[in-house]
Amino acid sequence: MEIQKLKGQNAIVTGGNSGIGRAIAIELGKQGVNVLVNYHSDKEGADEVVGIIKQAGSDAFACQADVSSEEDVLAMFAGMKEKFGHIDILINNAGMQKDAPLHEMSLDDWQRVLGVNLTGQFLCAREAVKQFLERGMCDKSKACGKIVCISSVHDVIPWAGHVNYATSKGGILMMMKTMAQELAPRKIRVNAISPGAIKTSINEEVWSDPQQAKDLLNIIPYKRIGEPEDIGKVAAWLVSDEADYITGTTIYVDGGMTLYPAFADNG
C-alpha cells in the first residue's frame, strides 16, 4: 500500500462534490486526510465522495454551504471544528462560470461569479487562517497550515466572453500572493493551481462535442484534455511536507496551454 504522507490531517475541500474538487477530495482521502466535502446543491455527489473516502480508510462528511455567504462559511468552519477538532488544509476550489459577451452580461452574473470564485476563496481562507493560528504548530506537518487556491489558466490568459470568470481568476492570483506574503512568517503556506482544460461538467459542452474537442487540442501542446486526477495528485503533493518550501506560487497544470501555442509555427 502507498505510504499515506498526510495521515491524520484534516481538510476542507470546497465544491468537493464534483469535478476537480471531487478528485482532490478523493486523493486526499487516499493519503489519510479526513475531509469535509463541501457542496452547494449536489448532496448526492458529495455523499458519494464521502463514501469513497471512507472506503479508503479516512473520515469524511458532507457539508452544504454557499461559499459566497459569510454566514454559511462561518457555519461550515464551526462544523469542521466540532467534527475534526481543527483544520490543516484548505482547498479553495468552488467555482463557476456564467458566460456572456460583455455588453450582455448582467450585474447579477458578474456579482455571482465574483462572489463565489473570489469572495468565496477570501472568506474560506480567512476562517481557515483563524483556526490555523488558534491551533498553532503541531507535529503532523512542517507548516502550521496550507491553503491551495484553485484558479485557472485564465488568471493570465484573457478570455473573451468570460470577463467575470477571467477577472475572478486574475483576482485569485494576487490574493493568493498577498496572503502568502502575509502568512509566511506564521508558517502558513498559500499556493495556487491553475488548471487548463480539464474534463469536468464546467466545460462538458466543449469536450463532449468531437469537433470542439478537436479544436481545443489545437491550444493544448501536450495534445490531451486533462483529467480531474491530474489536479488531484498535484494538490496532494503541494500540501505535503515535500513541498514545504513552496509558498506564493502558481503551478500551471495545463498541458502547455499557457505556452502561447499559436506561436509554435508562427510569429
- From 29-37, 151-159, 181-189, 236-244, span contacting ligand BGC (CB under 6 A): 151-159
Contacts 24+ apart (CB under 8 A), 68-77: 68/112, 68/115, 68/116, 68/119, 68/120, 68/123, 70/123, 73/120, 73/123, 73/124, 73/127, 74/127, 76/12, 76/36, 76/38, 76/127, 77/12, 77/124, 77/127, 77/128, 77/130, 77/131
Q: Which of 30, 40, 154, 187 binds ligand BGC (CB under 6 A)?
A: 154
184-203 residues near ligand BGC, rule: CB under 6 A:
196-197, 202-203
# binding residues, ligand BGC (CB under 6 A): 8
C-alpha cell at 78: 464551526
Active site (annotated) includes residue 222: no
Helices and strands of the chain, counted as H and E runs:
9, 7
Is 94 among the residues that bind ligand BGC (CB under 6 A)?
no
Among all residues, whose Cβ is closest to ligand BGC? 152
Is 65 among the residues that bind ligand BGC (CB under 6 A)?
no
95-124 residues near ligand BGC, rule: CB under 6 A:
97
Instruction: Write down the least CB distance from residue 219 to ligand BGC, Å.
Output: 8
CA–CA distance, 256 with 164 (Å, rounded to integer): 24
Q: Which of 31, 58, 152, 164 binds ligand BGC (CB under 6 A)?
A: 152
Instruction: Write down the least CB distance from residue 220 to ligand BGC, Å.
Output: 9
- Please list, residue by residue across 4-24, b when 16 or more beta carbons sit within 10 angstroms of its beta carbon and e when fewer do: bbbeebbbbbbbbbbbbbbbb
Is 220 among the residues that bind ligand BGC (CB under 6 A)?
no
Annotated catalytic residues are 165
- Which residues contact ligand BGC (rule: CB under 6 A)? 97, 152-154, 196-197, 202-203
